[in-house]
Structure 1
């Protein structure tokens, strides 16, 4: 047995995983006394820091009492479930983190079910016991019931529970007794999580993650399953299609602290990075050169949504981005599928248009946001839900489990909004001073729902959802009630016309902003679309009239985040995304062509 513990940290989004990893890193004294560091050490890309979420799983190792603990920080959102599913294969145990007030949430159930299926040993950490209204004992019971319902074994149900606050940096076996630091958690990891076993035999390692370096190219990361990997050894790479390729290990590295350390050999049970191997994909097995044996491939849940990605062909194309051609778009999307396992790309009959399949709006929006920051210009269509057929030819659609916590006085409005979109209320119970609601709702009913719920509850609703199953089609769901306001011509918008048109609806643009013909500039108060001339100026005379020149008072424009805009557009609209702007537009910019297409559909 080696003194290694491989542990993944799983939790619902915002329950404090990355903060806990920070505290473990500090407790193990990786940093010197003189070194400065920020919070959320592992959330190292800008998007993760801005949104306060983990998108990509990370590896880090700490040493405590002569034991090396490899920690894998995982994302909490169900949209990034593909990340969680593959990295759990590297672990022997999991730290399940649960908020002392919120308890087990939908994503907790999702990631916990994967860990239990893999037979991993859990340690439960009830976090944030310093919060008001917290209910640690109830939450402990709730986690036990959840594990029992997910079919946990006797050994898994006999779990150790720690209570504490990652933010304040303490953990204890009894939540009423505050300790000095986080060491009770590290002691529990060494005591409860089984050591990584050394399995003898020919070497085997599955690639579960990848890294990239400008100096050595792509780096394969995974856990050595059996035998010993040696630097300079000739190996076989076993691909998904059954083919076997001869490869050579150039360098081996293991995770030490926040970085990697070069070694000459790695034994079974350790997580390592291998350089010098070309042409591998996630899920491939690096095996013995003479007698190669493949490990079973990682199975990932199917995508539930797709979106059309196409090149930007608006009148403003190429003004803000560096990468604008279909070749750029194709290469970038296929490069993403190498490391983002839950993403699929399908070519269409047009060379500049691709269908991209993902787990949800957030999953796809993170890809779009990353691309625009890299300098890409593109257009995307309305998100579409994926349907299936059963053996009798009936249409099935994805159903999601939706959980909403709202103040009691607005619960009625939320129930009304969700049931309008074919949601069924399954649970309604008080939770502290909030009302806890659970629904089963079609995935397509969720598109655009968050905005409406936040408006109805003055921003106080907390919404979470996860994919549940495919069920029979629930019938039509009403879409956006109001039509679009569309610009008639290109040019700068004048304050004078914007002021005069304010009774027509709400605008998404400011005076002086450049727009083009066919751009969606606002939301109409009525269900139909309306085309406006926004470039007209005031007729000037040489007479001055002090009374009749009233001051122009224009409402501030409505701001959209990328996800809001993706959920807002209709099926005859595109979202134009560039490094500096997000614009909505009609697919057909010319009004006559739009009318002709509308007639064809009728």
Structure 2
């Protein structure tokens, strides 16, 4: 029985909470979500011991980052909580943008030592623009260099700068050690479990409010694929009640499709999807059998089709050209070696990877090989993940050097610029400054960082970031960390020296 309260045409779903978990890369977001899943009895101990449930992709486990946003649900008492795990790296921010649209609140996770970093700011700004109610979790309070109280003050300053309404300045703060599955209201007084966090979610994340009686509208925010079911649209029911067997239309950039009959409907339970007869407004749904659907489309009642505003996705800033392996060793390592096979695979990737753009090199007109494909993405890591995925699937490919995407603006040719924050020990500050100088980096701020030395904030062109991470780790003997976020397009700056002769570059 759905517990609701009606006010006019709007209904409050007291039995439901939709919350997105957002944070900077490697602040423990996926570990915390796994803890919530385990403590809600979704898994037996033997099934979940020692693993990160949410990072199911092989590359995610190897790199320790989240690439693909996922959905799961847990029960706390009689209330269903839909958890939406999102990537924390800037290169996968397209995943963050569209998954936030399914939530009513956000769980903002911040490292107790590092504090809010550039990607924290980017994701929080997106969440507040969408009107999500925040809940702050300060994680890793057991670190030797933890500074929980200072971090809470830094978070408050961030909210003052980014909040779009006064209500967003009032939020609960929970302290946690996600690795141990513990949380509490003070860093030195943690409960033996995550119950304080469960209760904070129920009390502070608003229940969905929606019109359950109007014509159906579902905003498609993600896609999945199964061999026997085909493309599966995943999204939130914005209005109405979706029932199995009803007729719907898919509304996208093109003309509405012919009416389609929904043969199956699924909701989320644990990490799985379970068949249901109906899904009411406010809940998340998975809909198979809509072959032409893409991310951002609206699935609407066939009798009264009405489209929702499409999701705005940030455009790519870096591109490279790939093609089939044409070396003498072609065919020895992989099974897919033709440009046709490569293009078909990239076309499938576009169905779910909304931050990616592809075109033939002939269309680009940049003198690349005729059978080349120009692939544009959010950054080096975004493209590196794609290339490594292709390699593991048996594709033999050649790849050009990555380059930034220029555009012509009112001030002439413009290139992307980013804010770069580097945490580095005092002993290597001179080395880092010397490394960044030729890359057109301008120092904006320098401040002491407890436990690490100094925090350096730079403004620099994206092309200066290409290859910087590895060089920085080498120069600092692995002690420096680098984080960045896109700021704007601005007039093209000075020249950046290329790789010195005699050096071998590998990805």
TM-score category, normalised to shorter length: over 0.9
Decide which of 383, 405, 410 is 2:423's aligned counterpart: 405
Aligned pairs (5 A) from 1:80-99: 80-99=92-111
Correspondence 1:7-406 to 2 at 5 A: 7-32=19-44, 35-200=47-212, 201-349=214-362, 351-392=370-411, 394-406=412-424
- The two structures, once aligned, show a CA RMSD in angstroms of 1.3
**Structure 2-normalised TM-score?**
0.94
Give yes or no for contact 1:326–1:351 (8 Å, CA) kept in 2.
no
CA distance in 1, matches of 2:152, 2:126: 20
**d(CA) in 2 for partners of 1:175 and 1:481?**
49
Higher relative contact order by CA 8 Å / sep ≥ 6: 1 or 2?
Answer: 2
1:472 aligns with 2:491: yes
Mind listing any 5+ residue stretches in structure 2 that lack a counterpart? 1-11, 363-368
Cα deviation, 1:96-155, whole Å, max 9, x if unaligned, reads 000000000011011111101100000000001111121111111111111221233111
C-alpha separation in 1, matches of 2:460 and 2:494: 12
**SS of residue matched to 2:351:** helix
- Max Rg structure: 1
Comparing 50-59 and 27-36, the one that deviates more = 27-36
Counterparts of 2:66 and 2:398, CA distance in 1? 26
Structure 1 gap segments, 5+ residues each: 485-522, 524-563, 567-602
Q: 2:481 aligns with which of 462, 469, 478?
A: 462
Offset at residue 478 of structure 1 (A):
1.0
Structure-2 separation of matches of 1:110 and 1:285: 26
Distance 1:158 1:41 in 2: 32
- For 1:36 and 1:91, the matched residues in 2 are separated by 26
Relative to 1, partners in 2 of residues 1:36 and 1:164: Cα closer, same or farther, differing over 3 Å? closer
Change (3 A) 1:34 1:43: closer
Residue pair 1:304, 1:385 contacting (<8 A) in 2 also: yes
CA contact (8 A) 1:250 1:277 kept: no
Farther off after superposition, 440-449 or 90-99: 440-449
Q: Which deviates further from its counterpart, 117-126 or 347-356?
A: 347-356
Query: How many angstroms does 1:351 deviate by?
Result: 4.8
Contact preservation (8 Å) 1:28, 1:62: yes
Secondary structure of the equivalent of 1:26?
helix
Q: Give the count of matched residue pairs.
A: 487
Q: Check the 8 A contact 2:249/2:300 in 1, yes or no.
A: yes
Task: Give me the whole-angstrom Cα distance separating, in 1, the residues matched to 2:244 and 2:462.
Answer: 48
Say if 2:140 and 2:178, in contact at 8 Å, map to a contact too. yes
Greater displacement, 32-41 / 290-299 = 32-41
How many angstroms does 1:49 deviate by? 0.5
Go from structure 1 to structure 2 and tell me whether the alpha carbon gap of 1:351 and 1:235 turns closer, same or farther (over 3 Å shift). farther
When the two structures are superposed, what TM-score results if normalisation uses the length of structure 1? 0.79
Matched-pair contact (CA < 8 Å) for 2:220–2:294: yes
Output the CA distance in 2 between the equivalents of 1:105 and 1:310.
37
CA distance in 2, matches of 1:245, 1:414: 59
- C-alpha contact (below 8 Å) 2:27/2:110 kept by paired residues: yes
**Structure 1 residues 353 and 20, CA gap change in structure 2 (3 angstroms):** same
Which of 342-351 and 114-123 deviates more? 342-351
Secondary structure of 1:7's match? Answer: strand
| 1:194 CA drift (Å) | 0.5
Q: Distance in 2 between matches of 1:242 and 1:409?
A: 62
Deviation at 1:482, TM superposition (A): 2.3
What SS is found at the alignment partner of 1:418? helix
Aligned counterparts of 1:119 and 1:443: Cα–Cα separation in 2 = 30
